[in-house]
């Protein structure tokens, strides 16, 4: 079965994810806004009780993924402050034309090193996912979290399978968006994905 990453935005959901068999945590705040950077308090407390890798969201606000210079500076500062303790980072920056912001993303990836980077579901808004996948590969991004532009990963499974095929192991395509235990096995079978992204409640023992 694929590795299971679970997105959480509280200590209660963090504990539930660990108990439910998650193998990696994406730590956020405000999942009602699509996930923002975790607070310092949540980051510290989750890190202290973690039994698995924690990937920390880096997103200063809700809304679109076109950031000002000031917002990018805030993201850089967060990466620097949390780089020692986080096991990885999750962020996404786009241009107004619906492309990966090449320069901003390159700079953030370098700031995150040596920790791995996931480009999050901002990817679902790009104008050409196949071309932009190559951009992320060129930038050395390790993962891309996506539903292939569909409302849920299961609905986008055919395009996700194509992204996995094109990736050829150069980047991990991480299906996310409405993933549930009931269809996770089928999603993995159809797409060939090696990892899945869900949210609480998600009991990996039910797979």
Q: Is 191 in contact with 160 (CB distance < 8 Å)?
A: yes
Question: What is the pLDDT, as a whole number, of residue 199?
Answer: 87
Q: What backbone torsions phi and psi does residue 165 show, to the nearest 5 degrees?
A: -65, -45
CA distance 3 to 22: 8
Tokens of residue 182, six digits: 């009931």
Residue 93 tokens read as 């920056």
Q: Looking at residue 67, what DSSP letter applies? A: -
Strand boundaries in 108-148, DSSP class E: 117-119, 143-146
- Domain at 3-198: CATH code: 3.20.20.380
Q: What is the pTM of this model?
A: 0.94
Q: What is the pLDDT along the chain (207 residues), one digit of tens a residue?
A: 689 999 999 999 999 999 988 999 999 999 999 999 999 999 999 999 999 999 999 999 999 999 999 999 999 999 999 999 999 999 999 999 999 999 999 999 999 999 999 999 999 999 999 999 999 999 999 999 999 999 999 999 999 999 999 999 999 999 999 998 888 999 999 999 999 999 876 545 444
Give the pLDDT score at 50. 94
CA atoms 116, 188, 158, 5: torsion sign: negative
pLDDT at 113: 97
Are the CB atoms for 45 and 11 separated by under 8 Å?
yes
């Amino acid at each position: 079965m694929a590795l299971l990453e679970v997105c959480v935005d509280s200590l209660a959901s963090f504990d539930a994810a660990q108990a439910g068999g998650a193998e990696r945590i994406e730590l956020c705040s405000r999942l009602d806004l699509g996930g923002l950077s975790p607070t310092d308090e949540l980051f510290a407390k989750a890190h202290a009780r973690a039994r698995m890798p924690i990937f920390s969201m880096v997103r200063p606000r809700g809304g679109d993924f076109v950031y000002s210079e000031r917002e990018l500076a805030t993201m850089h500062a967060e990466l620097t402050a949390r780089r020692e303790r986080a096991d990885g980072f999750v962020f996404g920056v786009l241009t107004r034309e619906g492309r990966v912001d090449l320069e901003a993303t390159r700079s953030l990836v370098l700031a995150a090193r040596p920790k791995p980077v996931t480009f999050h579901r901002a990817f679902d808004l790009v104008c050409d996912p196949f071309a932009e996948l190559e951009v992320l590969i060129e930038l050395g991004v390790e993962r891309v979290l996506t539903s292939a532009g569909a409302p849920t990963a299961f609905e986008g499974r055919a395009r996700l399978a194509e992204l996995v095929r094109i990736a050829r192991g150069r980047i991990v395509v991480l299906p996310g968006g409405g993933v549930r235990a009931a269809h996770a096995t089928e999603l993995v079978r159809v797409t060939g994905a090696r990892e899945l992204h869900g949210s609480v409640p998600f009991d990996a023992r039910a797979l």
